[in-house]
């Protein structure tokens, strides 16, 4: 995807984003789910080494801008993964609320039209755009029917306990692992 030449994301604007800790303090819901996803996201030694090497490289992704909202399940799962990657690799992560930053979101629409979140935008040391990752891994898209089945022909209130259990289960954990794999693959392709 090509980004506009005159991006609204200047180095100064990037610096206005929240750190992950500030994001956690600012959100009004799902704090426990964010904490759980953060704590249960594991990076292998190989992943950590690869991300560190990428960040240290001449075209390395030293900065990541994240767009999200605390109500979105994909953000609840994906943003803690990105926080772990940033922390392990030394990448600077700044988080922006999508709905307060529509001008940034407009540059990174999914398929040119959808305001999908989370969106992770990677920049080099000189703030040159490298690449971006949007919403969820391909595996999650393929397996989304598993989550939809929980709500099928059931009132939301009745399905809620099963949905919360799903978020703590192996499928959800697999989607977090796939997020790590896809981001690593994307950065390797664009930064090596």
Q: What are the C-alpha distances in Å from 25 to residues 28, 50, 59? A: 8, 30, 32
The per-residue pLDDT of the chain, averaged, comes to 94
Residue 6 pLDDT: 81
Residue 5 pLDDT: 57
Q: Could you give the domains of the chain?
A: 11-135+182-191 (3.40.30.10)
Q: What digits encode the pLDDT tens for the residues 23-39?
A: 999 999 999 999 999 99
Whether 2 has a pLDDT exceeding 50, the answer reads no
Copy the structure tokens of residue 40.
């249960």
Block residue for tokens 């960040």:
55
- 108 phi and psi angles, rounded to 5 deg: -130, 40
Copy the structure tokens of residue 93.
């992560």
Q: What digits encode the pLDDT tens for the residues 69-86?
A: 999 999 999 999 999 999
Q: What digits encode the pLDDT tens for the residues 37-51?
A: 999 999 999 999 999
Residue 192 pLDDT: 75
pTM: 0.94
Region 88-112: mean pLDDT is 96
SS3 64: strand
Alpha-carbon gap, residue 7 to 95, rounded angstroms: 17
């Amino acid at each position: 995807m090509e980004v506009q030449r005159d991006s609204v994301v200047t180095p100064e604007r990037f610096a206005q984003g929240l750190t992950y800790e500030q994001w956690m303090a600012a959100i009004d819901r799902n704090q426990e789910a964010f904490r759980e996803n953060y704590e249960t996201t594991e990076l292998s030694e190989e992943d950590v080494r690869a991300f560190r090497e990428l960040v240290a490289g001449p075209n390395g992704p030293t900065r990541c801008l994240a767009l999200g909202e605390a109500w979105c399940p994909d953000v609840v799962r994906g943003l803690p993964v990105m926080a772990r990657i940033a922390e392990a690799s030394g990448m600077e992560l700044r988080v922006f609320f999508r709905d307060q930053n529509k001008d940034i979101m407009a540059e990174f629409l999914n398929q040119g039209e959808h305001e999908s979140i989370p969106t992770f935008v990677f920049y080099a040391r000189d703030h040159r755009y490298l690449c971006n990752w949007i919403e969820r891994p391909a595996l999650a898209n393929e397996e989304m029917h598993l989550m939809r089945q929980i709500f099928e022909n059931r009132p939301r209130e009745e399905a809620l306990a099963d949905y919360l259990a799903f978020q703590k289960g192996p499928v959800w954990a697999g989607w977090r692992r796939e997020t790590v794999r896809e981001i690593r693959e994307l950065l390797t392709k664009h930064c090596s």
